[in-house]
Structure 1
Amino acid sequence: MNGVWQVIFWIAIAATALLFIPALRAMGESRKAAAALAAGDIVEARIQTAAARENGWVTFGWGAFALIALGFAVFVMMNDVAVGKTFFYLPLMQQKWWLVTKQFFLTNIFIFVVAEVLVLVWGLVVALARLMPGKAGQPIRALAILYCDIFRGLPAVVTLYLIGFGIPTSGLPEMIMPHIVGWFVDLSSMTVAEQRSLTRIPVIWWCILALTLTYGAYVAEVYRSGIESIHWSQVSAARSLGLSYMQTMRYVVVPQAVRRIIAPLLNDFIGLQKDTALVQVVGVIDAFNQSRIIAANAFNLSAVTVVAILFVIITIPQARFVDKMIERDNARMRAGG
């Protein structure tokens, strides 16, 4: 194992030596600039000086990158590679990779996808409620503002704990669910244990509810900012054509607003995806909880590193997609579109 890390370390050192290439180019261009200046060729001297400066900054940038990378490599190899074995023990990572990955997709990704759909709908409802016009809409606006203030102020882990443990403990599901299930299934012939098993709501759905309420408050504010960015003249024109307030929102304002807030929405969904790891606080066996169990049995944190890698692998493409969306929007705005 030590031999593998040493090979990686020496490869990193060899790659760092490539920094001499732009450095040597900068030195050569500096000499050309000096020669051109001595010959009285000001234009050539400025061209070579600019090229030398560019290669100098390239060397500096990649040098900083290499310094950080080598610092990380030294950190991993400290204490006779004890740090590397603690976080990156390859045999354990290879052995437990599939177990953690399966739990990641079955639990974390499932919670993320379902909660994302619910958050999109619920956030729009709250945003429209907060923008209700007139005195008649004042109580609805007050409720929407109160909801956003409360759930944006509460940490997601606290909301998960309160809903995941509080609602099942209160007995409300046992009071309501038998009546709902009874519309579709005959419960009279079942024992009490069978009825409870059939009407019990899995904890994972309370986690989805908690994350929906938490991120619904954030997404509602994103929707509201997009709606308020639409010029008031479009609302006036739609109302003058006989459209109601809700019709104006549906056909005129919201479609334009959504185009402007796609990037911020995706940023919120990246945060939602990461917060699915918090469901372990209520006992759900997600990828993080599974890795903790493995770490406790193996006295090694490499399984937790696998979870970190999975989250990064899922998050990076989304982050790059957000960057592309922002670039496209900026290009459209510069073009006057």
Structure 2
Amino acid sequence: MTTADPATTGSGAQAPYRPSERRLAREAYRRQRARRSGLIAAVSTGVTALVLYLVVVGSPGWEVTRRTFFSAHYARQALPEVLKGLRVNLELMVVCGALILVSGLLLAVLRTLRGPVFLPVRLLATAYVDFFLGLPMIICLLIMITGVPALRLTGVTTDPTVLGGAALVLTYSAYVSEVFRAGIQSVHPSQRAAARSLGLSNAQAMRYVVLPQAVRRVVPPLLNNLVSLQKDTGLVSIGGVIDAVYAAKIIAVQSFNYTPYLVAGLVFIVLTVPMTRFTDWITGRMNRRQWQGGLV
């Protein structure tokens, strides 16, 4: 003799799910705690912002600072010129970013080559990375922008935009190569051994097995380097390139007012913040997939 299941009706349909009282109480408590935490965070942020505002506005030199750095008149005057010069920064970021990725990956692969025959290549790649990791960016830019034209080499450009971009590529290639090398070394040696056991050569194992895993793992730090590159493109202004920074400098020198610099800084911030948040989203997504046992 069988008994009817209380969770089903006479027609065999399953009754709708009803959470228990304990679960409802737990979810209500969590919602209450989240609202309480949000309220405390909002009040704390508001109080901190108010205190900072009162400290700044109440300082003895606030009026002079306000006229010098927060002039609406000079902000309106500078914004169109800064945006016009920003095109140079964006072009440098796109072109240099692509060249940096290729050269950085090439350097990383050269540094991870195996076998004694590749020792000279590894030494040259290591010397390049060590040199440009230690050389300050500003010095590299000065050498390229002022030193290369002084050589008067036939067929070599003297355009400060091109030379400044070359300095960015030389320096950032060393940074990015270390990121790629860390990704390559993070791949377990068993992956390469398994590829070799299947008949793949060392080059094929690197191309089809190691590099795909390594690149996925280093996407967040690569995006962070791209953010840094976007900001450092403003350094080419030391060679007279009229980018966003130099356009702001021209107006500041003419007006003896530094509001254009603030406008240029805000423009870079507007570009950088979305890229930074996108990097955080990519990092969080990869971490969640890793915790859940998915592909890295």
Both structures adopt the same fold (TM-score exceeding 0.5): yes
- Aligned counterpart, 1:310: 267
- Aligned counterpart, 2:142: 161
User: TM (normalized to structure 1)?
Assistant: 0.73
Equivalent of residue 103 in structure 1, options 85, 90, 93: 85
Counterpart contact for 2:248–2:261, Cα < 8 Å: yes
1:288 aligns to 2:245 (yes or no): yes
Structure 2 unaligned runs (5+)?
A: 1-24
Q: What count of residue pairs does the alignment treat as equivalent?
A: 265
- Aligned counterpart, 2:20: none
- Aligned counterpart, 2:200: 243
Offset at residue 277 of structure 1 (A) = 1.2
Q: Aligned in 2, Cα 1:276/1:77: closer, same or farther, shift over 3 Å?
A: farther
1:228-265 Cα offsets, whole Å, 9 max, x none, are 11121121122233322222211111111111111000
Structure 1: which amino acid aligns with 2:205?
T
Q: Mean alpha-carbon deviation: is it higher for 231-240 or for 142-151? A: 231-240
Offset at residue 59 of structure 1 (A) = 5.3
How far apart in 1 are the matches of 2:222 and 2:260? Answer: 31
Offset at residue 306 of structure 1 (A) = 0.9
Structure 2: which amino acid aligns with 1:85?
R
- Aligned counterpart, 1:70: 50
- Aligned counterpart, 1:141: 122
User: TM (normalized to structure 2)?
Assistant: 0.83
Structure 1 unaligned runs (5+)?
A: 1-43, 178-198
How far apart in 2 are the matches of 1:321 and 1:200? Answer: 37
Structure 1: which amino acid aligns with 2:255?
A
Counterpart contact for 2:96–2:165, Cα < 8 Å: yes
SS of corresponding position for 2:120 = helix
Structure with bigger helix share is 1
Q: Aligned in 2, Cα 1:52/1:333: closer, same or farther, shift over 3 Å?
A: closer
Equivalent of residue 235 in structure 2, options 278, 287, 291: 278
Q: Mean alpha-carbon deviation: is it higher for 138-147 or for 68-77? A: 68-77
1:86 aligns to 2:68 (yes or no): yes
- Aligned counterpart, 2:110: 129
How far apart in 1 are the matches of 2:147 and 2:97? Answer: 23
Structure 2: which amino acid aligns with 1:321?
F
Task: Name the % identity.
Answer: 39
Let me know the Cα RMSD of the aligned residues.
2.2
Structure 1: which amino acid aligns with 2:208?
Y
How far apart in 2 are the matches of 1:53 and 1:235? Answer: 47
Counterpart contact for 1:77–1:84, Cα < 8 Å: no
